[in-house]
Copies of this chain bind each other. A is one copy, B any other.
């Protein structure tokens, strides 16, 4: 870090923040274990463990001791508190975190942890049985507790939803998001229509041939390491819902799910989580626990995963490098498939039911629907009982398809069972951030395609490290985008990226 200091109040604060982060990291590990390793009958006490750890962490993150330390560091900095330095950002963001955390009663924190731990298991079983009613009681409890959380958190005339949104995308508002989503939707809808009208149909059946799981595992691990994920500082495991957890420096864990007859699910899932993992692994180790050693927002986090999954991983240049290796790993399903067919198949655009398997275009419509539903859940306009019907109607309206079961509909995502309401919009924000950042990287780094063709992903990774990862939370998402691209967030780079890629694939007229 550039801002070294020996000052007492500031370094006392950073030590305490690191201890709190270490306690938090224990909770992250216990939670990772719950989703990857926990024996079924261990659930009851796992909920108690998570609840206790969350309570202890919250207690320390809201203590008088920490308050005094922040105040002392603020005094010490004086007018330098508004400067553009790591030190000032650490103290300002620590104050913001403290102020948010103290608005939440500890009882509520523990209750939410316990309720979501139980709700997670209920969701797993309900999804298996495709039975929303099995999940309903747990979901109602979660919604109720999150409304309580939002009431405690909100400032001034903030809506309940915006108070939760701030947990994932600090400094954002749903009004702003609606504006940029609307601009995006205005361009996406005609694009989907044009593609549907195209006579070109991607040969997607090649992706549901038989891909042995052992080989998928090897190919995924190879590709993840090739783009830069450090397997001596991380792991790849299996869970029902893929995720990436940056537990502590040197310990970043991704999960995926393998399906024998679905190449995309694990491979692009792993590239996606790799993007998250590269961000976590790119944080400054010495800043662990301090705001400038933490990720900016989930939107920026998602921009990293989306960039590696879609902008890199679904490009022709990426596969120019990797396709020969893919054919070696999968001689049976891919032996008779040329790279053009494969490239076309992995860029198939069509309305489908499952968000995590949706294409780059329709994905954003999946997000808009969830964003709208959960705003209504929080305001009370949508009772939990009515979620399946509302979900199915919106899928019909936006994508023109009829949801066959709750498992394929409103039970598909882990988020609500985990209390992650306000989280979904960050996915589509991530797509837009990714497009705008990738456009800038191409300007700064020259011929990215040529680099990818040569298997050289280092320039892009280094660019991301120095422009984004190394800053931590020194700048907000909006500031970061402006600093790097010299423009505020816009839907246009994403539309440009999609049109440029898809026009030749689908014989679209360029507009």
Contacts and interface: CB of A to CB of B under 8 A. Distances in A.
A282 interface: no
22 contacts: A19-B52, A22-B52, A25-B45, A25-B49, A26-B49, A29-B29, A29-B30, A29-B33, A30-B30, A33-B33, A37-B37, A39-B233, A39-B235, A39-B251, A42-B248, A43-B250, A44-B250, A45-B249, A45-B250, A45-B251, A45-B288, A48-B248
B46 A248 contact: yes
Contacts of A42: 233, 247-251
B45 A231 contact: no
A442 to B, nearest CB: 32
A40 interface: yes
Contacts of A48: 22, 248
Interface residues of A, number: 36
A41 interface: yes
A248 B49 contact: yes
Nearest to A234: B39
Contacts of A23: 52, 56
Q: Is the interface of A mostly helix, strand, loop or mixed?
A: helix
Interface in A1-51: 19, 22-23, 25-26, 29-30, 33, 37-46, 48-49
Contacts of A249: 41-42, 44-45
A232 interface: yes
A251 B46 contact: yes
Given A29-B30, A45-B248, A49-B248, 12 more contacts: A23-B56, A26-B30, A26-B52, A30-B30, A39-B250, A40-B232, A40-B250, A42-B248, A44-B249, A45-B251, A46-B248, A56-B56
A93 interface: no
Nearest to A28: B49
A230 interface: yes
Contacts of A26: 26, 30, 49, 52-53
A313 B347 CA distance: 57
A40 B37 CA distance: 19
Contacts of A41: 230, 232-233, 249-251
A33 B41 CA distance: 19
A34 to B, nearest CB: 10
